[in-house]
A and B are shown apart, each in its own frame.
Chain A
Amino acid sequence: MIADNGIVIAFWVLAATTVGCALMVAAVRELIQAVLFLALTFVGVAGIYIVLSADFVAVVQVLIYAGAVAVLMTFAVMLTPSADRRNSETAFQAPALVLAGMITAIIVFVAYDTDWPIADRAGFPATAASLGRAFLKPYVVPFEVASVLLMTAMIGAILLTKEEEEDEHA
C-alpha cells in the first residue's frame, strides 16, 4: 500500500470531507446552501489532487471550479423563481436513491476488483511546465479546438443576451 502514513490520513480525511459535502448538496433544503456545499466539494477534490502531487491541477481546480463555476451556479440559482428554490419532496426520491446506490455499488465493486498496477515512472518534477509542453507539442490540436469551442460559447452567450436596440432618446 501507500508508504507514508501521512498520505493515508490525508486521503481519508479529504475523501470523507468531499463525500460528506457531496451528500449534503443533495440533502439540504435551500438551493443556495447546496451551491455552497458544492463549492466545498470542489475544494475537497483539489485537496485530493494535492495528495496525488498534482499541484497545478489542484490550484486550477480551486480557481476555476470553486471560483468561477460556483459563481455561475449562484447566478443560475438567482435566476430561478423563489418558489423553485427548495428541494421539495418529490416522487423521484426513492428511484433516485436506488439508482445512486446501484451506481455506487458498481464503481466500488470494479475499483476493488481491479488490479491497480504501480506506475513505473516517477512523479513529475514540475507539473505546470510538463502540462504546458504537452499542450503545445503532442496535444496542440485538442487545445486549439477547446479554445475555439470556448470562444464560440462566449460569442453565443453575448448574442443570446443582447437586447434589441431600443429607441429611448426623445
Chain B
Amino acid sequence: MPTLGLITGYWFDIRDLSNLSRKIYELLGDAGAPDWLIWVLSALLGTLGIISFIGAVAIVNIWVERRVVGRMQSRLGPNRLGPFGLLQPVADAIKLMQKEVLQPASAPGLIFSAAPILFTVPGIALMAVLPWGRNMTLADLDVGVLYILGMSSLAALSVFMAGYSSNSKYSLFGAMRVIAMLVSYEIPIVVALLGVVLFAGTMNLQGIVLFQETYWAPMVLLQPLAFLVYFFSVSAELNRTPADIAEAESEIVGGYHTEYSGMKFGLFYAAELINAVAVSAIIATLFLGGWWMYKLDELVPGWMIYIGKIYAVYFLFVWTRGTLPRFRIDQLLNFAWKWLTPMALINVIVVAAEVLVWEESGWSAGFFVPLYIAINNLLAGALVVLFVRVLAPKFQRFPVRPRFAPEIDVPSLPAPPLMGEPRTDLPASGAYPI
C-alpha cells in the first residue's frame, strides 16, 4: 500500500481519475474490443462523470443559495427538512414534479415546451471543455474559449423564445428586456476573455491552466481588469441580481418564465443554477488557476481543489445577489456600453502591447511576470477611479440627508387655476435622458 504522497499512476488512485479510465480501456483492449468501442466508451464515461456532477450541483446549490442568502438576511434559511435543511432541494424537486402543468391555450406548443430544454443544454454542454485535473478533460478542444462563448450565446436565444411563446404581455416584457441586455453584454465578455487568451497564447483551457502553473501566477493577478469586467458582465448574462431585470420578481412577476409551471419551471430554475456553476467553473479555470494550487494539486486531488474554487466564486455570486438592489434596464445598458466595453478594449490594447514586449525582448519571465502584475493592477485601479470620476451620474445637486425645520413653515402659493382651464402648475415629472 503506497503511503500518501504525490499522485501516482495506480488505478485506484482516484486523485487522478484518468488512471481509472486507463485501466478500463486496458482491460477492454485485452479482451479484444474494437478501437471505436473504446473511444465511444471513453466519451460516455467522461460525460457520465460530468452529468453526475451537474446533477449533484443542481441539488446542492439550491440549498446553498437559500441558506446563504438567508444567513445574510439575518434569518435562518431552510432548516426543517433534514439536518440543516439539506433535504430541502429534494422536497422542491418533488413539489415541482407533481404540479399541474398549466399552459396558456394560445401559446404555440412546440416552442413553449422546447424553450426550457434549449436553455439547459448549453449550460451542460459548456462543462465538457473544463479541465478537472492534469489528465482529466472530456473534450480538450483547441478552441475551448470560443466554444464557451458560443454556448453562452445560444442561451440568449432560448430565453427570448420562452418569453415570446408564452403569449402574455408580462413575459414579452421580460423577453424584450433580456434580449437587449444579453446582446449588449456579450461584447464585454468576449473582449475580456480575449485579453486572457492573448496573455496565455492559447485558447485551450488546459493550456491556460498550464500557463498559470508555469508562471506561478493566477490570471486574476495578471489581469484584474479582465476579471472584473468578466465577473460583472457574466452576472448580467446569468440574469442574477443586480442585473436580474429579466425576472424581476417585484415588477413583472416572473418575466420570461411567468407562464411556466411544474417541471418546466423547475428546468428553468435548475438551468439557471447550472449556468451559474458553469460560469463559476470558467472563472475558476481562466482566472483562479483551475486544478492547480501551488503544488498542492500533487497531494490533494485536483478536482477537489477545482470544486472548492468553483464554490468560492459561486459564493461571490450569491453574495452580490443577497446584498445589492437591482438596476433599471437603461442603467444596465449604460453600464455595458459606456463602462465595461471601453474598459475591456483598453485592457486588450494594453495586454497586446505587453505580450509583444515580452516576446520580442526575450528576457526571462521572472522579470516580466511581477512587472506585469504591478502594471495591470495599477492600471485597473486607475481606470476604475477615472471612470467613476468622469462617468458616474452626479447626485450632488441635493444633499444626501434631509434638512430639519423646528417649526411649521408653509410657503404661500398662487391660487390654482379653475376647473376647465389648462393646468400650468404641474411640472413634467420623471423625464430623464435615456
Same complex: yes
Q: Which among B130-138, B139-147, B267-275, B321-329 touches the partner chain? A: B139-147
B222: Cβ under 8 A from any A Cβ: no
B154 touches A66 (CB 8 A): yes
A92: Cβ under 8 A from any B Cβ: no
B160 touches A74 (CB 8 A): yes
Q: Measured between C-beta atoms, what is the minimum distance from B42 to chain A in Å?
A: 14
A62: contacting residue among B141, B150, B186, CB under 8 A: B150
Q: Measured between C-beta atoms, what is the minimum distance from A53 to chain B in Å?
A: 11
CB-based nearest B residue for A4: B36
B154 touches A62 (CB 8 A): yes
B179 touches A75 (CB 8 A): yes
Q: Measured between C-beta atoms, what is the minimum distance from A28 to chain B in Å?
A: 9
A170: Cβ under 8 A from any B Cβ: yes
Interface size on A, residues (CB 8 A): 27
Q: How far does the alpha carbon of A6 sit from the alpha carbon of B35 in the complex, in Å?
A: 12
B146: contacting residue among A63, A78, A170, CB under 8 A: A63
Q: How far does the alpha carbon of A170 sit from the alpha carbon of B430 in the complex, in Å?
A: 11
Q: How far does the alpha carbon of A60 sit from the alpha carbon of B161 in the complex, in Å?
A: 22
B160 touches A67 (CB 8 A): no
- Of B147, B150, B153, which is in contact with the most chain A CB atoms at under 10 Å from its CB? B150
Instruction: Map CB proximity to B onto A53-71 as digits: 1 under 8 Å, 0 otherwise.
Output: 0011001101100111011
Instruction: Map CB proximity to B onto A27-62 as digits: 1 under 8 Å, 0 otherwise.
Output: 000101100100100000000000000011001101
B160 touches A71 (CB 8 A): yes
B179: contacting residue among A6, A71, A169, CB under 8 A: A71
Q: Measured between C-beta atoms, what is the minimum distance from B125 to chain A in Å?
A: 10
Contacts of B36 in A (CB 8 A): 5-6
Contacts of B428 in A (CB 8 A): 168-170
Q: How far does the alpha carbon of A75 sit from the alpha carbon of B154 in the complex, in Å?
A: 15
A67 touches B150 (CB 8 A): yes
Instruction: Map CB proximity to B onto A125-146 as digits: 1 under 8 Å, 0 otherwise.
Output: 0111000000000000000000
B146 touches A36 (CB 8 A): no
B156 touches A71 (CB 8 A): yes
B157 touches A39 (CB 8 A): yes
CB-based nearest A residue for B197: A128
Q: Is the interface of A mostly helix, strand, loop or mixed?
A: helix
A74 touches B143 (CB 8 A): no
B374: Cβ under 8 A from any A Cβ: no
A30 touches B108 (CB 8 A): yes
B111: contacting residue among A33, A62, A71, CB under 8 A: A33
B161 touches A36 (CB 8 A): yes
Q: How far does the alpha carbon of A71 sit from the alpha carbon of B203 in the complex, in Å?
A: 26
Q: How far does the alpha carbon of A55 sit from the alpha carbon of B146 in the complex, in Å?
A: 10
Q: Could you tell me which residues of chain B, from 100 to 152, have a CB within 8 Å of some CB in chain A?
A: 108, 110-111, 114, 141-143, 146-147, 149-151
Q: Measured between C-beta atoms, what is the minimum distance from B142 to chain A in Å?
A: 5
Q: How far does the alpha carbon of A67 sit from the alpha carbon of B118 in the complex, in Å?
A: 13
B157 touches A66 (CB 8 A): yes
CB-based nearest A residue for B426: A170
B156 touches A67 (CB 8 A): yes
Q: How far does the alpha carbon of A97 sit from the alpha carbon of B157 in the complex, in Å?
A: 30
Q: Measured between C-beta atoms, what is the minimum distance from B35 to chain A in Å?
A: 10
Q: Could you tell me which residues of chain B, from 408 to 428, have a CB within 8 Å of some CB in chain A?
A: 427-428
- Of B151, B153, B179, B186, which is in contact with the most chain A CB atoms at under 10 Å from its CB? B153
A128 touches B183 (CB 8 A): no
Q: Measured between C-beta atoms, what is the minimum distance from B275 to chain A in Å?
A: 15
CB-based nearest B residue for A68: B153
A32 touches B156 (CB 8 A): no
Q: Measured between C-beta atoms, what is the minimum distance from A94 to chain B in Å?
A: 28
A74 touches B108 (CB 8 A): no
Contacts of A127 in B (CB 8 A): 142-143
Contacts of B306 in A (CB 8 A): none
Contacts of A62 in B (CB 8 A): 150-151, 153-154
- Contacts A128-B203, A168-B428 given: A55-B142 contact, CB under 8 Å? yes
CB-based nearest B residue for A166: B431
- Contacts A32-B161, A55-B141 given: A63-B153 contact, CB under 8 Å? yes
A66 touches B153 (CB 8 A): yes
Q: How far does the alpha carbon of A126 sit from the alpha carbon of B201 in the complex, in Å?
A: 13
B154: contacting residue among A5, A67, A128, CB under 8 A: A67
CB-based nearest B residue for A43: B154
Contacts of A55 in B (CB 8 A): 141-143
Q: Could you tell me which residues of chain B, from 215 to 274, have a CB within 8 Å of some CB in chain A?
A: none
Q: Measured between C-beta atoms, what is the minimum distance from B256 to chain A in Å?
A: 13
A168 touches B431 (CB 8 A): yes
B164: Cβ under 8 A from any A Cβ: yes
A67 touches B165 (CB 8 A): no
Q: How far does the alpha carbon of A55 sit from the alpha carbon of B150 in the complex, in Å?
A: 12
A56: contacting residue among B146, B164, B427, CB under 8 A: B146
Contacts of A39 in B (CB 8 A): 157
- Name 21 interchain pairs, CB-CB below 8 A, sorted by A: A6-B36, A32-B161, A33-B108, A55-B141, A56-B142, A56-B146, A59-B143, A62-B150, A63-B146, A67-B153, A67-B154, A67-B157, A68-B183, A74-B160, A74-B164, A126-B142, A128-B143, A168-B431, A169-B428, A169-B431, A170-B427
Instruction: With A71-B160, A74-B157 given, name 6 new contacts (CB 8 A).
Output: A5-B36, A36-B161, A60-B150, A63-B150, A66-B157, A78-B164
- Pairs A-B, 10 closest by C-beta atoms: A67-B153, A63-B150, A62-B150, A170-B428, A59-B146, A168-B431, A59-B147, A59-B143, A59-B150, A56-B143
